[in-house]
Amino acid sequence: MPAKLIDGTAIGDKLRAELQVEIRALRARGVTPGLAAVLVGDNAASATYVRMKGKACDEAGLYHETIRLAKETTEAELLALVERLNADHKIHGILVQLPLPTQISTQRILHRVAPEKDVDGFHPENVGRVSIGDPAAFRPATPFGVQQLLLRSDVDISGKHAVIVGRSTIVGRPMAALLLQDGPGGNATVTICHSRTRDIKSVTRLADILIVAIGKPEFVTGDMIKPGAVVIDVGVNRVEDPSLKKGYRLVGDVNFEEAKKVAGALTPVPGGVGPMTITMLLYNTVQAARQWTQP
């Protein structure tokens, strides 16, 4: 029996509808959650992501600013902009779109964003607070979205073995922290695989829940999946396809055609994790506005 598809678009739409209740309540108090997105340079993928985030803010009724800077922008200039946004009361959330040009230290910039406006969840203060289960901390949007996909698809997480393929600070490590927490969406037994993991297939086949975020097209094949496992594919990769007018197609880090014959449930690419990432960014921005109004 083919795997059940986990529809990130539908789940994201439902979550955004729920979020409208709090957005309306904040606006009634004179507070419109505000998000600033900073784009440095002319990376086409980054520009697309920022445009999608702005569109999502418009649809949700959030205030947003997109600030575009030349790729020659200096680190000092970007730091000054971040400080200005930190002090701007219309802005409750700040995201600096990555990657940044090589002349700028990514860590220095991300560490300068005020923790209370760090809706990407990249500041060390939020990283630490997420790791200890502080609900007021900002959870990085992609792993937070994966957790919500699992919860809202009625996947039993507690006591299950979750294997995460990829140890990035953006997905893999915070994903482990969320699944380990004591509460809804947590209490899993977590294993992280990475480029130095020996016989990775023997580890992934142990997973009740397999989350793949390694950035390699169709890396996980059907024989790497435990029959009936829930498979969450975080990857988005372009591969050449001359048969298509645009010359490429999007695939995940999981071989979809093989996985759907083995898994119990599976996210597609596109239409799986991607829509949830933007939804959880909106969620974090509303959370930031709510916490800003609290004494």
Among residues 117, 118, 120, 148, the one annotated as catalytic is 120
- Encoded amino acid at 170, one letter: I
How many Å apart are CA 237 and CA 239, to the nearest integer?
A: 6
Residue 84 sits in which domain range? 29-116
Beta strands in the chain (DSSP E): 4-5, 34-40, 63-69, 93-96, 161-165, 189-193, 209-212, 230-233, 237-240, 248-251, 265-266
Cβ contact 59:52 at 8 Å? no
Q: Confirm whether 53 is a catalytic residue.
A: yes
Number of domains in the chain: 2
174 in a structural domain: yes
How many Å apart are CA 219 and CA 16, to the nearest integer?
A: 32
Same domain as 209, residue 263: yes
Among residues 4, 14, 42, 53, the one annotated as catalytic is 53
285 in a structural domain: no
How many Å apart are CA 150 and CA 184, to the nearest integer?
A: 10
Same domain as 156, residue 108: no
Tokens matching residue 20:
């409208």
How many Å apart are CA 129 and CA 79, to the nearest integer?
A: 24
Same domain as 152, residue 102: no
289 in a structural domain: no
Instruction: Count how many Cα atoms sit within 13 Å of the Cα of residue 197 in the half-sphere of its side chain.
Output: 17
Nearest to 281 by CA among 108, 79, 36, 68: 36
pLDDT tens, position by position, for the chain (295 residues)? Answer: 789 999 999 999 999 999 999 999 999 999 999 999 999 998 888 888 899 999 999 999 999 999 999 999 999 999 999 999 999 999 999 999 999 999 999 999 999 999 999 999 999 999 999 999 999 999 999 999 999 999 999 999 999 999 999 999 999 999 999 999 999 999 999 999 999 999 999 999 999 999 999 999 999 999 999 999 999 999 999 888 888 888 888 999 999 999 999 999 999 999 999 999 999 999 999 999 999 998 7
In the three-class reduction of DSSP (H, G, I as helix; E, B as strand; rest coil), residue 246 is classed as coil
SS3 content of the chain, % helix, strand, coil (to 5): 40, 15, 40
Among residues 13, 42, 58, 97, the one annotated as catalytic is 97
User: Residue 116's pLDDT is what?
Assistant: 98
Same domain as 47, residue 169: no
CATH code of the domain in which 203 resides: 3.40.50.720
User: Residue 242's pLDDT is what?
Assistant: 87
3 in a structural domain: no
70 in a structural domain: yes
294 in a structural domain: no
Q: Confirm whether 182 is a catalytic residue.
A: no
Indicate the length of the chain as a whole number.
Answer: 295
CA distance to 21, 25, 162, 260, 261, per residue, from 4 (Å): 30, 36, 18, 8, 10
In the three-class reduction of DSSP (H, G, I as helix; E, B as strand; rest coil), residue 186 is classed as coil
Q: Confirm whether 208 is a catalytic residue.
A: no
Quote the pTM value: 0.95
Same domain as 90, residue 44: yes
